[in-house]
Amino acid sequence: MLLIYLVIAPILVGVLLYFFHFKKATRILAILAQIGIFIGSIFLFIEARELTELYPIGRAFGMEGVTYNIGGFYYGMGIILVSDVLSAVFIMLTAFMFLLAIFYSFNENNTSLYWFLLFLWQGVLMGVFLSGDFFNIFVLLEVGTLVVTILILFSRKNRSLYDGLIYFMVNVVSMQFYLLGVGYIYRYTGTLNIYYANAQFANTGREYLMLPYALIMTFIVLKSALVPLYSWLPKAHGTKGAPSAVSALLSGLHIKSSVYLFLRFQYTFEIVALTEFFMVLGIITAIFGFVMALGQKDLKLILAYHTISQIGLIFTGLNMGITYSYMGALYHMMNHALFKSTLFLSGGIIAYAYGTRNVYEIRGVLKKMPVVGVATMLAVFGITGTPIFNGSISKYFISSETYGLMNWILIFMSLGTIVSFIKFSTILFGEPKKEIGEKKVDILQQIPIIVLGSLCFLGGIFGRQFIDILFNVQLTIDPAGYFEKSLIFFASLVVGYLLFKYYVKDSKLIKTAGAMELGFRSIIMAIGLFFATILLFVGFS
Amino acid sequence: MPANIIEISAILMFIISFYGLISTKNIIKSIIFIVLMEVSVVMFWLSFGFSLGQLPPILSSIGGMEYIDVVGIENIADPFPQALMITAIIIGLSITAVNTIMFITLYRKYNTIDWDVAKERSLTE
């Protein structure tokens, strides 16, 4: 029963908030309701963790975990909500992130529409993480796209309109690919259940599965913004009009839903699933992402492009076929949610206080706003993988069993992250250039940033224990190996600083790469080309 | 599983609308091609739920006998795709509405129906 409440409760709370005029009392009720949802998600997690465990890798448990059959139809026919330990972790993350987002926007946004959409969005994400049904996922993601579009356009500023239109239309086109793929699945197996379809595929010929797999993976790749279908992401995540809390949730959480679906669908299509292909795609995406991020000077856009790079790293880790890398990538997804949302939230406060989002104009954040500055610094330490911070643990696990070329590629990716965050962290130091007005930083906005920032630190010290608690998998950290990675980090820090100082700062090439932007038609063309490529790879593998 | 004529035409329509999305610069036409794409997917789904001569699964019994026993299970259409596609059609309708509203606002702001011009004007703003 808990499962259905987790989906419906946020939506009901949202509707209530919309209809009752929004005063402080109702806002406090909203926070209480959100705390209730969070506690519910913890209960679900405890139950799911006992029933399932996440080993061996790549196996989806689903039906062994907590299930709820809506309507009571028999197995494989009705809509079903399922939760194993993997989805329970994401449910917990969703509830936690939305709690912080609500704290952050407590005094910022008073419109009832905003709060309604925020809670509706949460319900949709919960549904995506819990659903075990192909068509249900389609409906939920369609609603999710709509909600996100309205939130992006929320303040109707500058470019937001064009960005919103592109985001919406591109996503709608990709949804049609997905629906067509699901149609093939239903036709060949007679079921829409993700786990049941996997069993049915054994009787279906391999050649029948290629087309649906290619269609569905095109959709997944677009949703998780891998190269070449990344182009809508910076528009959506970095747009000027969106409230900071929305950007933080988009980059921290929303994008994870498609990576989660990737894991599920890879299991469903075991017979035809490609792994090396997605690993290479992840590497290309990671490198592409930070090169583009280096070319930006807008605070929010740097972070948005960097999300692409991090998703690339996560895809690389997930598809290497090594247990340690897989767990490292899963842990990195959690970590990325923490530090990227810290950066977006504190970036919002900084941009508001300074009245600009140009990183070259903002100086001396540490001096002006010590709390925000320290939280930002913790998050930067996390994302660059500084030893004893959370990013270092997940990056250590991803690269701990790789050798030769792969190891060098991972070091290169890490170097790219370091260079772009050296650029980002210049805002922290120095003297404030111009006198900024006395804009008081809301104390309620500082709470989530402090919580997230300190979690970045705790996630590093207790990294192994966190993985044990969350995923029920015991990993060991080899002190010598970890020390070696730390040395590599400091070496790349030096190299990164030199690179930043003498090459990146005024490189024409990087500036042109950063300014590169695809229009609507080019994005659609990229979808078509990518679909053809993946079909070829599935056909010949 | 042999393909039937409706299915083939649905796939053809999907490809045509995809080509349309690539080739047109006009935002209104893009919106129309998206509608066309949705219709083609709906058509594809319906193509395997029903074949000519099948009866709808509405009645549960005829004259005291089970409906399935009277007409035979192979003569009853599969209601599942139709039920799902009603949902998809409604979603498609709302998508078109949102697309159109956003386009109208864009048009009032940038005074263009061209993708490239809209991009340029939004960049220079």
> Which chain B residues are Cβ-neighbours of A161 within 8 angstroms?
102, 105-106, 109, 122
CA angle A83, A85, A91 (to 5 degrees): 65
DSSP-assigned states of every residue in A477-536 = --HHHHHHHHHHHHHHHHHHHHHIIIIITT-HHHHHHHH----HHHHHHHHHHHHHHHHH
> Which chain B residues are Cβ-neighbours of A169 within 8 angstroms?
30-31, 34, 99
Interface of B with A in 28-47 (CB under 8 A): 30-31, 34, 37-38, 41, 44-45
Helix (H, G, I), strand (E, B), or coil: what is residue A103?
helix
> Tokens for A287?
């490198």
What is the Cα–Cα distance from A322 to A260, expressed in whole angstroms?
18
Nearest to residue A471, comparing CAs of A90, A9, A41, A18? A90
- Residue contact B122–A161, C-beta within 8 A: yes
CA angle A377, A378, A382 (to 5 degrees): 115
Helix (H, G, I), strand (E, B), or coil: what is residue A302?
helix
> Which chain B residues are Cβ-neighbours of A153 within 8 angstroms?
102
Interface of A with B in 82-111 (CB under 8 A): none
> Which chain A residues are Cβ-neighbours of B106 within 8 angstroms?
161-162, 165
- Residue contact A524–B84, C-beta within 8 A: no
B109 touches chain A (CB under 8 A): yes
Q: Are A226 and A285 in contact (CB under 8 A)?
A: yes
What is the Cα–Cα distance from A507 to B107, expressed in whole angstroms?
37
- Residue contact B80–A158, C-beta within 8 A: no
Interface A–B counts its CB contacts (< 8 A) at 90
User: Cα B54 from chain centroid?
Assistant: 23
Shortest Cα–Cα distance, B17 to chain A (Å): 10
Q: What pTM did the predictor assign?
A: 0.93
H helices of A133-275, where? 134-152, 160-189, 194-201, 206-223, 232-237, 244-249, 255-268
> Tokens for A417?
């992250």
Counts of helices then strands in chain B (DSSP H, E): 5, 2
Q: Are B6 and B43 in contact (CB under 8 A)?
A: yes
B81 touches chain A (CB under 8 A): yes
- Residue contact A169–B99, C-beta within 8 A: yes
Q: Are A428 and A453 in contact (CB under 8 A)?
A: no
Q: Are A110 and A129 in contact (CB under 8 A)?
A: no
B13 touches chain A (CB under 8 A): no
- Residue contact A176–B22, C-beta within 8 A: no
Q: CA of B15: which chain A residue's CA is closest?
A: A528
Q: Please give the C-alpha separations between residue A188 and each of A80, A182, A356, in angstroms, as whole numbers.
A: 20, 10, 55
As to burial, measured by CB atoms within 10 angstroms (0-12 exposed, 13-18 middle, 19+ buried), residue A76 is middle
User: Cα A470 from chain centroid?
Assistant: 18
What is the Cα–Cα distance from B68 to B55, expressed in whole angstroms?
10
Q: CA of B94: which chain A residue's CA is closest?
A: A146
Count Cβ atoms below 10 Å from residue A96 Cβ, excluding itself: 21
A528 touches chain B (CB under 8 A): yes
Q: CA of A78: which chain B residue's CA is closest?
A: B80
- Residue contact A180–B14, C-beta within 8 A: yes
What is the Cα–Cα distance from A261 to A127, expressed in whole angstroms?
12
> Which chain B residues are Cβ-neighbours of A241 within 8 angstroms?
none
- Residue contact B41–A173, C-beta within 8 A: no
What is the Cα–Cα distance from A58 to A278, expressed in whole angstroms?
14
ipTM of the complex: 0.93
Q: Please give the C-alpha separations between residue B31 and each of A161, A168, B36, B96, in angstroms, as whole numbers.
A: 16, 11, 9, 7
Tell me the sheet residues that pair with A358.
A298
- Residue contact A169–B30, C-beta within 8 A: yes
- Residue contact A172–B80, C-beta within 8 A: no
Q: Are A372 and A449 in contact (CB under 8 A)?
A: yes
Shortest Cα–Cα distance, A229 to chain B (Å): 15
Query: Which parts of chain B have pLDDT scores under 70?
Result: 1-3, 125
> Tokens for A448?
């989530």
CA angle A32, A34, A36 (to 5 degrees): 70
For A525, which of B22, B44, B91 is closest by C-beta distance? B22
For B41, which of A142, A162, A179 is closest by C-beta distance? A179
Residue in A520, A531, A535 to test binding to B, most B beta-carbons within 10 Å: A520
Residues 6+ apart with CB under 8 A from A1: A68
> Which chain B residues are Cβ-neighbours of A519 within 8 angstroms?
115-116, 119
What is the Cα–Cα distance from A236 to A162, expressed in whole angstroms?
10
> Which chain A residues are Cβ-neighbours of B87 within 8 angstroms?
135, 139
- pLDDT value, residue A461: 87
What is the Cα–Cα distance from A244 to A238, expressed in whole angstroms?
9
- pLDDT value, residue A254: 92
Nearest to residue A214, comparing CAs of A191, A261, A180? A180
pLDDT in tens, chain A (541 residues): 788 888 999 999 989 888 886 677 778 888 899 999 999 999 999 988 888 777 655 566 666 778 888 877 776 677 888 888 888 999 999 999 999 998 888 877 668 888 899 999 999 999 999 988 899 999 999 999 999 998 888 776 666 788 888 999 999 999 999 999 999 999 888 888 888 888 888 888 888 889 999 999 999 999 998 988 888 888 888 777 788 889 999 998 999 999 999 998 988 888 888 889 999 999 999 998 888 888 888 888 888 999 999 999 999 999 988 888 888 899 999 999 999 999 999 888 888 888 878 888 888 778 878 888 888 999 999 998 888 888 888 888 888 888 888 889 988 988 989 988 888 888 888 777 665 655 667 777 888 888 888 888 888 888 888 888 888 888 888 888 888 888 888 998 898 888 888 877 777 777 777 777 888 899 999 999 999 999 999 988 7
Supply φ then ψ for residue A434, to 5 degrees: -110, 155
Q: Are B55 and B77 in contact (CB under 8 A)?
A: yes
For B18, which of A162, A164, A528 is closest by C-beta distance? A528
Interface of A with B in 169-198 (CB under 8 A): 169, 172-173, 176, 179-180, 183, 186-188
What is the Cα–Cα distance from A150 to B27, expressed in whole angstroms?
19
User: Cα B5 from chain centroid?
Assistant: 17
Tell me the residue length of chain A: 541
> Tokens for A458?
């705790």
Rg of chain B taking only CA atoms, in angstroms: 21
- Residue contact A187–B1, C-beta within 8 A: yes
